[in-house]
A and B are shown apart, each in its own frame.
Chain A
Amino acid sequence: MTRANGVRRSAWIITFLMFAAVFCVPASPAQTASANFDRLLKQAFSLHRQGQYHEALPVLRQALKLQPGDYFVNLLLGIDLLRTGRREEAIAFLRQASQLRPKEEFPYEYLGEAQAGLGRFAEAAESYAQAVKVAPGSQHATVTMVDFSLARFAEMAGRMRSSNPGLAAAYRLEAMAHPSTSGARYQLFQRAAALDENAPGIWSDLAWSALLSGAADAGDILQQATIKEPENLRLWTTEALLAAKHSDWQAAAAKLNAVAQRSPAMLVEAAEDWPSGLAPAQEAGGPAHLFFRCVKSAACSTDNLRRQMPAPARPARSSPGELFAEQRWELLSTLPAPALHQPVAWFQRGVAFAQLGNCGRAIPALERGLGDPPAAENMFWLSYCYARQAGAVADGMQQSGDDEAAAHMVRGDVLLRLRSDQEGAVKEYQAALAAHPGDPAILERLAEAQFGAGQSDAARQNAQAALRLDPLRPSAMRTLANIALQDRDYAAALPYLQKLAERTPQDLSVRVDLGRAYAQTNSLEAAWQNLGPVLQQGYPDEKGALHYLLGTVLRRLGKTSEAEQAFATSRELAAAFQRRSHQNSQDPPPPHENENR
């Protein structure tokens, strides 16, 4: 989890200088203790500015003894402990600082960084959100939150691709980015369902998409969804749509009213995709009446519809689990927060908020519900919310047209991570770097963007510069590894990959690249030790290429039978991928010609 240290440092410096101007006036004898404190603080800050965090710590501790309730000492101690890797200790001081000045955003930002570094992402998300809350106009706070969201999103994306259910979730997420009537959306849902047919809600999503896109096999899929997910509200809206298409308005209204009873928000959402004008001539009863009136109107506003919706019905049984199973999102979201050791309840609460579009509250809940290893469904919802959150905030900053370094950073992040516009990102990071030369966070981002833009030499230089300033920058290490791998200079890639694997052992993509690099440098045992377990853990290998690589390693190790097995698996996977396409194509694909509407 990285942060725009330079950006925050500038703000901190300004604050400190103001502080110094006020307090560092010539001292009288009565002010000796205070002057001593001021001297220590200035000395510590000087060390801090030079990056000598270790050296600053004892000085700060002396100052703390003199004035334990001083905001700056606590904040600086927290930051320098953080910079020296002592995150747990840092948190105590940062908390203290935040209590001393609850309207300052800086302690929360650093607190978020420390918590994220310790893997306490729920707390980190809350800290970052708190920073924005106490300083709504603070660009730094906004940048920090976007940065955190993007980093978590990227982490989720990587982890999701580490298993077939995760890959299915990734496809599903991708599907949701397509228009609801699009054939591409339908096909991505199909692909997700093929990879993980037990993913909750996938069949209902698929059925809804199939019907909206006009897929010929929509009926079969709907039947499948009815069997697998009878309580899914998306399925009910699909059934309502099917009934409406057959002009069975009574059945359609009944289904829609049933949806509204459980979750009015889901009915409102259905209105967004419902074919325009598909409504009965006569008025229906219940919330369906409002629904049909909206979809009939050219000026239908789902916001208005949402306001008009009655409250959901209260069921006799209302345990969190029951509310979740019945998708009563509004009721579930109003329950008191569960205890910390109840990850399932947190997950359910998070999904409820996400379904209601409140990602700010969904994220901490989903993070608390994240198991180890994390479930694909949880990662799916977290990715969804992080992307929404980052996009919304970044969009606001983009519209601001602000030229400050922080704005350049955010724009660069958005271009790099959300929009795959590496060249645009390079320009933004260069602008940020011009304002803050030598900031390792900007340098490593610039390197990553330059690599993506094909500027390998410049990327190498900047990544190396970032590592000289901060040897633990993972993104810089990854960029250098990627450059070497791209050049098939596997020996050069190895040191970076080894460090990354040590730091992020859960990142299977690093293990795969490490295995590849070992294989190509004749470290066959090491290659086997990396590739074998990763594939056993279900790392996706849809076309069999990784099993092929493993087979070549095993063959060279003289493990003939194991190699044959790996090759056989590779062939099976490759053939299965092709056969799966066969099966898909045997179903009549959906018509797409009407998408130009």
Chain B
Amino acid sequence: MKTAKPLSWTRREFARLLGAGLLFAPRWGWSATTPESPILLRNTAPACGLDFVLRNDAAGRKYQVETLPGGLAVIDFDNDGWPDLYCTNGAALPSLKKTGPQFYNRLYRNNRDGTFTDVTEKAGVQGQGYDMGAAVGDFDNDGLEDIYVVGVHGNTLYRNNGNGTFTDITQKAGVGGTDARGNKLWAVAAAWLDYDNDGKLDLLVSNYCDWSPGTDPVCGGLNGASRTYCHPDMYRAEPLLLYHNNGDGTFTEISREAGLKDVLGKGMGIAVADFDGDGRLDAFIANDNDRNLLLHNRGGGKIEEIGMMAGVAYNGDGRQISGMGADFADFDGDGLPDIVMTGLRNETYELFRNRGDGSFEDASASSGLLPLSRPWSGWSCGFVDLDNDGWLDLFVASGGLEDNEPQPNRIFRNQKGRFTDVSEAAGADFAIARLHRGAAFADFNRDGRIDVAVTSLHQPIELWTNQSSPRNWLQLKLTGTRSNRSAIGARVICRGSRTQTRFVANSVGYASSSDLTVHFGLADDRKVTLEIHWPSGVLQMLDDVPSNQRLSIEEPSRP
């Protein structure tokens, strides 16, 4: 058989010719934006002590792991009511070791004055390996938020000691992230959730693919300029992990027992909500070029993967895309949690509207998100009410895979279930184009407006402080007593001039964990009624709750 040697075009071009034909690479555009936006953000990170730089140690070899780091976690580790920030980081390649401070994960304490202090080394949470994401939850119900860090071939559980330090209890807890045969997995994201409603947070881990530096294939050309990251299809899928919290500081991996033993995937972001209103928390896992997973919690410790039957396994066009980040929230105000999933440029993000009958329908086109999202490679994302108008907007951290594909973040404003891209009017510095990855949401300065922290490869972290015109708001910090203390899984209905529904969940977007505080934008409402459905089944009602305050609410001991 003749080789392609005599051909006059390069091998890479020949490969493109042979392989593609169907590949399209539209240039990104700047259309579909509005000149004036009620959402205004400013990057305050440079002046506030947040000096984290996300490092993937890319040096031209194009290891697959290089594209995926950057998860963030909001944690109130010192329990002062002010959101602190934890940033995961990469490591040296190919060793996968944090060989120096430049690779440390970083914990920043919120100084309550708009500035942050790096307390990483005192806290002892700098990490060891090539980390990807983090999940925050009070797994031992001691009133202190703990951190679970996931990464390549090793995860770490840090228990919060309550004195500004953490202890690595991974080994004792048994949550190191290996599969049943002891193989080390590459985890991208994790979510705390009390799947069996026993009052103790369990742990769901999404794993990506089988990879090791010694076996990573070379894709693209031989010289550095033409080398590319390999397609996910080149790698085998991995099982997800479900750790049951035994209540004694240990966990048991029970994915097989729960009914998930045959479920493989190239798992990315995890989003959790009780999508069918049965009081049990379910989870959606975006998958990269593979079918998405919807884990339906059937109760009795059993979980069924129903993505296909529920209509969320593939996008609305019946195709798999590069699913990255995901969120599970009620974007259209019907009280049911819907799913958004980001994808790469030209794939368009997918919006699955919850029909209320256990299935979802494609709402990408009808919501306007389809054409708006086409030019953008989306990673972390979140439904957040940035303008406090009572409708959940969509924030997306954007950026391509390769260094030459930086993109600015996007804000899609929600107006009664229809989205418009308001990014260009969101602030002078919002147009900065980078390889954005993780994003976490919290009201860091406690001014009643949700802010956003975003990482990007090789670049300093961004803290997008919300400077939108003030409107009414309400924030709730829930504390479970019979339910898990973090109150993850609680459903809160806020009734004012319109009714809003939120689910307490912090696994949001891509590999990231947002603030557990429930935030409602109230527009012009001064008072609202609250209805809290705790995971334990307790129903709590609060009437005539004034707006513009932050409430701490403890779960009542009796229904």
Tell me if chain B binds chain A: yes
Q: Which residues of A contact B (CB under 8 A)?
A: 153-154, 157-158, 170, 173-174, 176-180, 182-184, 187, 201, 205, 234, 269, 272-273, 354-355, 357, 383-384, 387-388, 391-392, 395, 417-420, 422-423, 451-455, 485-489, 516, 519, 543-546, 548-549, 551-552, 567, 570-571, 574-575, 578-579, 581-582, 584-585, 588-589, 591-593, 595-596
- The complex places the Cα of A355 from the Cα of B234 at a distance, in Å, of 30
Instruction: Write the B6-35 contact mask toward A (1 if CB under 8 angstroms, else 0).
Output: 111101111111111101111111000000
Known A453-B27, A454-B27, A543-B290; contact A589-B215, beta-carbon cutoff 8 A = yes
- The complex places the Cα of A395 from the Cα of B234 at a distance, in Å, of 32
Q: State which residues 317-347 of B face A: CB under 8 Å.
A: 317-320, 346
Residues of B within 8 A of A387 (CB): 7, 14, 17-18
Residues of A within 8 A of B24 (CB): 422, 451-454
B218 close to A585 (CB less than 8 A)? no
Known A177-B18, A269-B3; contact A419-B13, beta-carbon cutoff 8 A = yes
> Which of B8, B264, B318 is in CB contact (< 8 Å) with A548?
B318
Residues of A within 8 A of B20 (CB): 420
The answer to the question of B316 belonging to the interface, with a C-beta cut-off of 8 Å to chain A, is: yes
The answer to the question of B173 belonging to the interface, with a C-beta cut-off of 8 Å to chain A, is: no
Residues of A within 8 A of B365 (CB): 487-489
Known A201-B1, A355-B1; contact A178-B11, beta-carbon cutoff 8 A = yes
A545 close to B319 (CB less than 8 A)? yes
A176 close to B1 (CB less than 8 A)? yes
B8 close to A395 (CB less than 8 A)? yes
A419 close to B21 (CB less than 8 A)? no
B26 close to A581 (CB less than 8 A)? no
Residues of B within 8 A of A455 (CB): 26
A570 close to B234 (CB less than 8 A)? no
Closest residue of chain A to B214 (Cβ to Cβ) is A591
A368 to chain B, nearest CB (A): 20
Residues of A within 8 A of B317 (CB): 485, 488, 516
Closest residue of chain A to B212 (Cβ to Cβ) is A589
Interface of A is mostly: helix
A509 to chain B, nearest CB (A): 9
- The complex places the Cα of A384 from the Cα of B7 at a distance, in Å, of 11
- The complex places the Cα of A593 from the Cα of B370 at a distance, in Å, of 41
> Which of B7, B11, B217 is in CB contact (< 8 Å) with A187?
B217
B218 close to A592 (CB less than 8 A)? yes
> Which of A180, A453, A544, A595 is in CB contact (< 8 Å) with B26?
A453
Interface of B is mostly: loop
Closest residue of chain A to B345 (Cβ to Cβ) is A454
- Closest 6 A-B residue pairs measured CB to CB? A454-B26, A581-B236, A395-B8, A177-B14, A578-B237, A549-B318
A454 to chain B, nearest CB (A): 2
- The complex places the Cα of A552 from the Cα of B7 at a distance, in Å, of 45
B314 close to A174 (CB less than 8 A)? no
- The complex places the Cα of A548 from the Cα of B314 at a distance, in Å, of 9
Closest residue of chain B to A454 (Cβ to Cβ) is B26
A178 close to B15 (CB less than 8 A)? yes
Q: Interface size of B by Cβ–Cβ distance < 8 Å?
A: 66
Known A454-B29, A574-B290, A578-B264; contact A488-B222, beta-carbon cutoff 8 A = no
Q: Which residues of B contact A (CB under 8 A)?
A: 1-9, 11-21, 23-29, 209-210, 214-220, 222, 230, 233-237, 262, 264-265, 290-291, 308-309, 311, 313-314, 316-320, 346, 362, 364-365, 370-371, 374-375
B264 close to A417 (CB less than 8 A)? no
Residues of A within 8 A of B210 (CB): 581-582, 585
- The complex places the Cα of A549 from the Cα of B317 at a distance, in Å, of 9
- The complex places the Cα of A552 from the Cα of B308 at a distance, in Å, of 9
Residues of A within 8 A of B320 (CB): 543, 545
B11 close to A179 (CB less than 8 A)? yes
A173 close to B264 (CB less than 8 A)? no
- The complex places the Cα of A328 from the Cα of B319 at a distance, in Å, of 46
Give me 8 other A-B pairs in contact (C-beta within 8 A), A184-B220, A418-B9, A552-B318 excluded.
A176-B1, A176-B3, A179-B222, A418-B17, A454-B28, A545-B314, A592-B218, A596-B222
B13 close to A567 (CB less than 8 A)? no
B184 to chain A, nearest CB (A): 13
- The complex places the Cα of A154 from the Cα of B18 at a distance, in Å, of 9
> Which of A184, A355, A489 is in CB contact (< 8 Å) with B217?
A184
Closest residue of chain B to A584 (Cβ to Cβ) is B236
- The complex places the Cα of A584 from the Cα of B233 at a distance, in Å, of 12
A488 close to B6 (CB less than 8 A)? no
Residues of B within 8 A of A423 (CB): 27
A170 to chain B, nearest CB (A): 7
Q: Which of B1, B18, B21, B320 has the most CB of A within 10 A?
A: B1
Q: Which of B20, B236, B314, B318 has the most CB of A within 10 A?
A: B318
A592 close to B216 (CB less than 8 A)? yes
Residues of A within 8 A of B235 (CB): 581, 585
- The complex places the Cα of A387 from the Cα of B6 at a distance, in Å, of 12
Residues of B within 8 A of A173 (CB): 18
- The complex places the Cα of A384 from the Cα of B4 at a distance, in Å, of 9
A269 close to B27 (CB less than 8 A)? no
Residues of B within 8 A of A582 (CB): 210, 236-237, 264
- The complex places the Cα of A423 from the Cα of B215 at a distance, in Å, of 36
A269 to chain B, nearest CB (A): 6
